Amino acid sequence: ILGQSTPVTDALMRATRTIPIVFVAVSDPIGSGFVASMARPGGNITGFTVLHASIAGKYLEILKEMVPLLARVAIMYNPNSVPAGGKFFSRPFIESATKLKVRPITAEVHHPSEIENAIMKLGTESGSGLILVPDNFMSVHRDLIVSLTTQFRIPAIYPYR
């Protein structure tokens, strides 16, 4: 069985411990409990990961390079659809923010109205930016996010094209 994403792979893992499962587009297979290690996954699950937690810090470095006057940046995600409830990405993000002297903001969202509120709040101060990490919830609402960041002129980094 092919599991494309962390939530799908999690559901498949709960459904069977005997049928082989191959995952793709899973950010933290070890932290999510799918495999013991990438070298020796064990169990009935194996797969490919294309992202490392450090990507959130790299996104911030790129955003700061693009917008030198960046003063505060929000990392936005739904804690129910990212690894470790967001800690997987937020730790390296906060480390980079400290290094770059940018105020980190964690914007946990569960509903489109929370996306709107978070982006509108960012839009009230100049020097704001937004980082989105790989998250199925964010992908579903990308049109809303792009529209709002454009409306409020907030520079943003997105994980996908």
What is the pTM assigned to this prediction? Answer: 0.83
Report whether pLDDT(1) > 90. Answer: yes
CATH class (in words) of the domain with range 55-157: alpha beta
In this prediction, residue 134 has a pLDDT band, given cuts at 50, 70 and 90, of confident
**142 three-class SS:** helix
Phi, psi (degrees; rounded to nearest 5) at 104:
-80, 140
With CA atoms as reference, report the closest residue to 63 among 148, 137, 149.
Answer: 149
Q: What are phi and psi of 24, to 5 degrees?
A: -140, 155
- pLDDT beyond 80 at 96: yes
The answer on pLDDT for 50 being more than 80 is no
In three state form, how does the secondary structure of 44-85 look? Answer: CEEECCCCCCCHHHHHHHHHHHHCCCCCEEEEEECCCCCHHH
> Residue 7: is its pLDDT beyond 90?
no
**What's the pLDDT score for residue 135?**
87
Helical axes 87-100 vs 55-66, angle rounded to 10°:
40
What pLDDT is recorded for position 53? 81
pLDDT above 80 for 51: no
Would you list the domain boundaries of the chain? 2-47, 55-157
Sign of the alpha-carbon torsion through 50, 51, 52, 55: positive
Helix (H) / strand (E) element for 131: namely strand 128-132
* pLDDT in the model for residue 60: 97
- Please tell me the predicted confidence (pLDDT) of residue 122: 97
Query: Band of the pLDDT at 83, cuts 50, 70, 90?
Result: confident
Per-residue DSSP letter, 16: -
